[in-house]
Amino acid sequence: MPLKELGFPKEFAYDGVTAALRVNAGLHSPLLCVSDVFDVASGDLSLPGRLR
């Protein structure tokens, strides 16, 4: 399926993080969740990365 059909914006901002992920095998719970964030690349989550 083309990404344009999913309604993604043409431009968006992002930041890099290192995080601990937890896998939950329960049927009615999220399968993957962030359990801890260790570091943010920008230092303040200002979303300096840009994709156009």
For each of the chain's 52 residues, which pLDDT tens digit applies? 676 777 777 788 899 999 999 888 877 766 888 899 999 999 999 999 988 7
Residue 23: both structure tokens together: 């896998």
Q: Number of folded domains in the chain?
A: 1
* CA 26 – CA 12 distance, rounded (Å): 32
Contact 14, 47 (CB under 8 A): yes
What is the domain extent for residue 20?
A: 3-51
Q: pTM for this one?
A: 0.59
